[in-house]
Structure formats: C-alpha cells, structure tokens
Amino acid sequence: MSMNEKVALITGASSGIGRATAEVFAAKGANVVLAARRQDELASLVTKIEARGGKATAITTDVSKAIDAERMVAHAIDTFGRLDYAVNNAGIEGALGGIVDLDEDDWDRVLDINLKGAYLSMKYEARTMLASGNGGAIVNVGSVNSFLGFATGSAYVASKHGMVGLTTSVSAELAPHGIRVNIVCPGFVDTPMHQRARGLLGDELYDNVLLPNVHLRRAGRPDEIARSIVFLCSDEASYITGTTLTPDGGYTLTV
C-alpha cells in the first residue's frame, strides 16, 4: 500500500479521525494537505509529520464556504502539483433538540458543514481530478447515524443520511473517469466529538447501555478508522466504489 509521492487532502484534519487519517497517509509515503478551521492544531500536525520525515502543508478552511473549498484544492495543486486522494471528514454534531424546538440557525449550521461541506469539497476535488485525467479516490466520512436515527438528533442524522445518497450518486457519475467514491460510517470512536457525547449522556448510559451493544465491547480508536479510509483510497480497493464501509465494532448488527 505504498503511496509514495501521491497527494492526499483531508478536511477536518485538526483532530480525531481526520488527524489520524493524515498521519496514516503520511506513514504510507503520501504528501498530505491538511484543511480545518483551527490553525494552531493544523500547524502542530504539520510539525509532527515533518519530524517523521513526511511532507505536509496546511490551510485554514471552512468547508461550508465555496471560496474556501476551492482555495484548499488550489493550495494542494500549488504546493504538490496534483491531487490523488480526498477525504471529506469535516463535521460537527451541532445542537441537539426536539424537532418542535430546534432552531433554524442550528439546523442550517449542521447541514451547511456536514452535507453542503461534503458537496462543495467534492465539487472542487472532482474538478481537479477530472482535469488531470489520472483518476483518483474520494472517501466521505459519515456515521452509523447515516442509517440510525436518535431522538433530538434530527439535524445531525439528516446530514449523515444525506452523505450516503451524495456518495452513491457522485460515485456513479465519476466512475467512468476512473475516480472512485466511497463512504466510511464509523460507530463509537474515541474522539473529541464522542467525548462530548459521553459528557451529555453520562458515563452510566454510555458505558452500560450503549457500549454493550458494540460486539467488541469498546469504542474504536481514530487510527482504526483512518486505516479503513486509507485502504479505500489505495490500489488495494481498486474495484470498490459507491460502497459504505461501517467500522463500528458490530454496533449496527445489534441495535
């Protein structure tokens, strides 16, 4: 799975799954382009990757804005001259609330970042890959909530459901051009987002009600999800497109 001198762009790269994915790509020899809103965290990751002998660059990005999405792809080309892989991982959980109380601005913020952000990112990633004529691979990051709803989570769940349809549609469109598009839908993973969920739900509910539904009886690690993402980008997955991969420890088989 050597990816020497290939170029990978990762959104939401400042923490959690995105950060781990950037590290795995770099370990495989890829040059990585890190995009997120938190500049300090991006800078620290660039330093870490370069200290290990890798090549990385970062650009502060709000994926919900077309100008930022276009600029991050242009930065990849300006810095490394090509784009082979794109991982659209940026996302937020947003405000939770019953449908009768959920504020319209809260709904818009979640959909703008999670779903519109994936659309805008793919728009400019695909445009660049098509222009190169060299094919490529795109992986979107959904969630087990791409199939499972939960009370008070309508905005987040709607955004993640939408990403499945977006992925399969774009896969059909780009496959004739040698560009594969897949989606990874993780379960419980030990990231800052899930730590916030634990804080809201409480340790008792999280540990004694939710995690027992995971066949492996534990949360996943960010690097475990990252390796699934990098696999789907690699030549090892050359006949896989339009597919949903669910690294969830068996959770969706139980609930």
Does residue 1 form part of some domain? no
Q: Is residue 29 part of a domain?
A: yes
Query: Which CATH number does the domain housing residue 220 bear?
Result: 3.40.50.720
Q: What is the pLDDT of residue 89?
A: 98
Residue 156 a catalytic site member: yes
Residue 125 lies in a domain: yes
The three-point CA angle 33-120-142 to 5° equals 80
Q: What is the mean pLDDT of residues 223-246?
A: 98
pLDDT of residue 200: 74
State how many domains the chain has.
1
Q: Is residue 246 within 8 Å of residue 160, measured between CB atoms?
A: no
Residue range 35-66, pLDDT digits in tens = 999 999 999 999 999 999 999 999 999 999 99
Report the pLDDT value the prediction gives residue 201, as an integer from 0 to 100.
Answer: 72
Over residues 147-162, mean pLDDT: 94
2 within some domain: no
DSSP 3-state assignment of 244? strand
Percent of the chain with pLDDT over 70: 100
Lowest mean pLDDT among 93-107, 113-127, 198-212: 198-212
Supply the pLDDT for residue 160. 98
Catalytic residue among 156, 206, 239, 251, which? 156
- Per DSSP, the residues of 98-149 read -TTT--HHHHHHHHIIIIIHHHHHHHHHHHHHHHHTS-EEEEEE--GGGT--
Contacts of 17 (CB under 8 A, 6+ apart): 89, 141, 186, 189, 191, 222, 225, 226, 229
- In sequence order, what E strands does the chain have? 7-11, 31-36, 56-60, 85-88, 136-141, 179-184, 244-245
187 occurs within a structural domain: yes
Q: Could you list the residue range(s) of the whole structural domain that residue 117 is in?
A: 7-253
